Amino acid sequence: MMKLKMLAKTDVGIRRKHNEDFVGTTPSHGIAVLADGMGGYNAGEVASAMAVEIITNEIKAKVLDIPAAQIDSDTGFTSESILVRNAIRHANDSIYDTAQRKAGCAGMGTTVLAAVFYSDRITAAHVGDSRMYRQRDGELTHVTEDHSLIHEQVRRGLVTAQDARNSTIKNLVTRALGVGKGVDPDIVEDIVFPGDLYLMCSDGLTDVVSDEIIEQTLTRFGKDMNKAADELIRLANAAGGPDNISVILIEASKKAEAVKKSGGFFSRMLGK
């Protein structure tokens, strides 16, 4: 596995009393997970913490014991991608069952974004609007696409990205963990190159800070991930801090196996 540097930070923001985001990193196993909880008094905190703990523990228990980057003949995805998918499904069912059994947790749910790095690759899986970017050679690219009503409108050309940040429906997600039995995350596989920088973040950042400013900030602070994370959080709070703000930065710092740089990501929903 490539050598990784990981940094995770979360901030309550200015307007919220509780932080319902939860983040976790396990560099030794190449795992990073970010969740943005919602629903009920403090229940969002329960859902996001459950998601990160269940997904991290399940991937950690198995990822080093499976053949790296082995392709599954049925789906065309790697065994790591299937492992992440299954972990997210199990987290979803556990959160849903808890919400049904405990009155204080009724209606809770969470977005989730999980990444695992292995060999010279990354698998990113997400449900909801927590987001991953990749910065390569100074260019910032979306790895994931939000599961939200406003993103669907942007995709169809009905509103601009700028208008989306001011929309009253920008926080309405079309998919989340814990709201029903069964969920299928979107899966993205990508080749990782030395110097690649990945940003995972909750919508507390992206709702108020544009992609252009995020790109400039990452470029400005270079490889000082601590300063970059602090500045991203500061920018979100300076823009009003309406939500909890979480960021995870991951840098691939060891030269991976030489491969030709290609363009896009291999992304589709990985079903049963």
In words, the CATH class of domain 4-257 is alpha beta
Give strand ranges (E) for 86-143: 109-118, 121-127, 131-136, 139-142
Query: Stretch 140-153: mean pLDDT, rounded?
Result: 70
Q: How many CB atoms lie within 10 A of CB 18?
A: 12
Which tens digits make up the pLDDT trace of 187-214?
A: 999 999 999 999 999 999 999 999 999 9
Q: Tokens at residue 2, please?
A: 């490539």
At position 106, the amino acid (one-letter code) is A
pLDDT-based confidence at residue 126 (cuts at 50, 70, 90): very high
Q: Which H helix or E strand runs over 43?
A: helix 43-62
Cα separation, 269 vs 188, in Å, equals: 8
Q: State the first-to-last Cα distance of the chain, in angstroms, to the nearest integer.
A: 28
Q: What is the distance, to the nearest Å, from the Cα of residue 179 to the centroid of all Cα atoms in its chain?
A: 18
Give the C-alpha distances (Å, rounded to integers) separating 45 from 110, 117, 157. 9, 26, 34
Extents of the domains making up the chain: 4-257
Angle of helix 43-62 relative to helix 79-101, nearest 10 degrees, comes to 150
Which tens digits make up the pLDDT trace of 40-59?
A: 657 999 999 999 999 999 99
Which tens digits make up the pLDDT trace of 78-120?
A: 999 999 999 999 999 999 999 999 989 999 999 999 999 999 9
pTM over cut 0.75: yes
Residue keyed to tokens 């400005």: 220
pLDDT higher than threshold 50 for residue 153: no
pLDDT higher than threshold 90 for residue 29: yes
